[in-house]
């Protein structure tokens, strides 16, 4: 609850403008209670982002593990779990606050995207072979990044991504 409240507060105000008082209010705990859990705003921010990214990766792993569904369908849903849910005016702020503060986050901002790429590559490799998997995965990731910046809504993102998956998975 505290980390979710913190992530929402950081997304709303940005890292620099977020106060521990504001996070405590959002989490419905006292400011001293928040400091008992997290010694600094930086520690809290790192924990909130880490939890968010770990949750996203776990959702992607779950989707891709369901081999009873067609691969293109699983890929679209995996990208939706990783990026699609962050499309839209309020959701986009989560991505921005993470991207704007890489120095505070350390390895987590590099490890999670690397893990996502590995998961996508492995899922493609399982059905199409290892040699084709990496270029297709990298192209889908690049497509997703571009679509995230163009998409006015999640539905637009998903429709375009579904088209890209269909083209690349032929």
pTM of the model: 0.89
Tens place of pLDDT per residue across the chain (170 aa)? 899 999 999 988 889 999 999 999 999 999 999 999 999 999 999 999 999 999 999 999 999 999 999 999 999 999 999 999 888 766 667 777 888 887 888 888 889 999 999 999 999 999 999 998 999 999 999 999 999 888 899 999 999 999 999 999 88
**Domains of the chain in sequence order:** 51-168 (1.10.357)
Given a contact cutoff of 8 angstroms between Cβ atoms, the answer to whether 120 and 58 are in contact is no
Per-residue pLDDT, 71: 97
Average pLDDT, the chain: 92
Per-residue pLDDT, 5: 93
Per-residue pLDDT, 111: 93
């Amino acid at each position: 609850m505290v980390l979710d409240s913190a992530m929402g507060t950081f997304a709303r105000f940005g890292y620099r403008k977020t106060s521990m008082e504001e996070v405590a209010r959002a989490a419905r705990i006292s400011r001293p209670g928040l400091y008992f859990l997290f010694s600094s705003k930086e520690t809290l921010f790192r924990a909130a982002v880490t939890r968010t990214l770990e949750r996203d990766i776990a959702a992607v792993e779950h989707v891709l593990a369901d081999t009873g569904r067609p691969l293109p369908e699983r890929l679209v849903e995996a990208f939706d779990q990783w990026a699609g849910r962050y499309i839209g005016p309020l959701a986009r702020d989560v991505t921005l606050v993470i991207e704007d503060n890489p120095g505070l986050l350390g390895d987590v901002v590099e490890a999670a995207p690397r893990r996502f790429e590995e998961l996508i590559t492995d899922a493609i490799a399982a059905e199409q072979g290892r040699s084709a998997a990496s270029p297709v995965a990298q192209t889908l990731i690049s497509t997703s990044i571009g679509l995230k910046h163009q998409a006015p809504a999640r539905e637009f993102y998903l429709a375009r991504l579904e088209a890209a998956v269909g083209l690349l998975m032929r």
